[in-house]
Structure 1
Amino acid sequence: MALNKLRQLDQHSLGVTLPKDDLRLEGLLDENGELRDEHHVHVRHTDTGEWQLELVEDIDS
């Protein structure tokens, strides 16, 4: 099981890195390993110590 470190981003938020190989499989990275576009992810707390991430394709304006 791969472990990812929880990091302080700023005064109000934390972040977890996602492996580029996983993002590449989803088609989110270009040939240089950079994000293709702007993407949004819905993070849902599902249980004690558990979260679910879902890539959101369409954002209503």
Structure 2
Amino acid sequence: MALNKLRQLDQDSIGITLPKDDVRIEGLLDENDDLEGEHYVHIRHVDEGEWTLELVSGIDI
């Protein structure tokens, strides 16, 4: 089981790193292994110590 460290981003936000291999599987990286375009993820707290992440498409901002 891979472990990822939570990081303080700013006063109001905490971040977590997603493994690049997992992001690559979703087809979100370009030919240089950089994130291609803008992507949004819905994070849902499910239970104590448990969250789900869902890649959201079709967002008009």
Normalised by the shorter chain, which TM-score bucket? over 0.9
Partner of 1:8: 8
Q: Which has the higher strand share?
A: 2
Distance in 2 (CA, whole Å) between partners of 1:51 and 1:3 is 15
Deviations 1:8-52 (A, max 9, x none): 001100000000000000000011111111000000000000000
**Which runs of no fewer than 5 residues in structure 2 stay unpaired?**
none
Distance in 1 (CA, whole Å) between partners of 2:58 and 2:48 is 29
Distance in 1 (CA, whole Å) between partners of 2:60 and 2:8 is 29
Distance in 2 (CA, whole Å) between partners of 1:43 and 1:34 is 22
Question: What TM-score comes out, normalization by structure 1 length?
Answer: 0.95
State the identity as a percent. 72
Question: What TM-score comes out, normalization by structure 2 length?
Answer: 0.95
Partner of 2:30: 30
Stretches (4+) displaced over 2 A: none
How many residue pairs get aligned? The number is 61
RMSD: 0.9
